[in-house]
Amino acid sequence: MTTETKPTIQFTPDRLEKAKEIIARYPEGRQKSALLPLLHLLQEQEGWTPAEGMDYVAGLLQIEPIEVYEVATFYTMFHINPVGKHVIEYCRTGPCCLMGGEEVYAHLRQRLGIEAGQTTVDGQFTIKEVECLAACGMGPVFQVREKYYTNLTNERVDEIIDELSK
C-alpha cells in the first residue's frame, strides 16, 4: 500500500488559484470557513460533490473528511449523488403554487418523463424539488445552475427545455 496517493479529483489550476484566494480571506486559523465556498467550487467543476472531491477539499482545508461530509449532507444545494447535465431545481413552496406552480410542475415532469430525484435516460436532466427561492413575485420559478427562470408557464417550460437540450 502506498502512503501518499494523488487524489483522483483535483481543482483545475485556475480553480485552485481561486480556492487559495478564498481560503486566505478568513482570519488565521479559521480556514474551515472556506468549506461552503469550496464545495460550491467543487460542484461547479464536477457537476456534483463526489466523495473523492470532498476528501480533496478536506485536504486543502486540513480538516477531517467527515467534517466535509457532515456539512455537504446538511445543505440541500450539494448533490451528493450523480445528477444529469442540467439539474432543474423547482420551487414547490406556497407562493409559487398560488401562481400555478403545481400545474406547471406536472407539465415539466410529463415533458421529461421523470419524477423528482430522477434523471432522464439520456443523462440530460434531473429534477429536484426545492423550497422557496426568494423570487415569489415572479413565480412559478425554477433554477438551473446560477440562472433563475421566472414567470413559468407550460409553453415557457417547453421553450427552456428545448433551449437547454441543444
Residues that bind another protein (CB under 8 A): 25-27, 30, 32-37, 39-40, 61, 63, 67, 70-72, 74-78, 89, 92-95, 97-99, 130-139, 143, 146-148
Q: Is 97 annotated as a binding residue?
A: no
Task: Give the residue with the Cβ less far from another protein, 58 or 157.
Answer: 58
Task: Give the residue with the Cβ less far from another protein, 72 or 114.
Answer: 72
**83, 95, 69: which is closest to 144 by C-alpha?**
83
CB of 1 to another protein, least distance (A): 31
Task: Give the residue with the Cβ less far from another protein, 2 or 29.
Answer: 29
- Alpha-carbon distance of 42 to 54, in angstroms, equals 8
Q: How many residues does the chain have?
A: 166
Q: Is 132 annotated as a binding residue?
A: yes
CB of 50 to another protein, least distance (A): 16
Other CB atoms within 10 A of residue 23 CB: 19
- Cβ–Cβ under 8 Å, residues 88 and 144: yes
Residue 119: which residues within 8 A CB-CB, separation 6 or more? 82, 83, 84, 125, 126
Task: Give the residue with the Cβ less far from another protein, 127 or 135.
Answer: 135
**18, 58, 34, 5: which is closest to 49 by C-alpha?**
58
Q: Which residues are annotated as a binding site for [2Fe-2S] cluster?
A: 91, 96, 132, 136
Q: Which residues are annotated as a binding site?
A: 91, 96, 132, 136
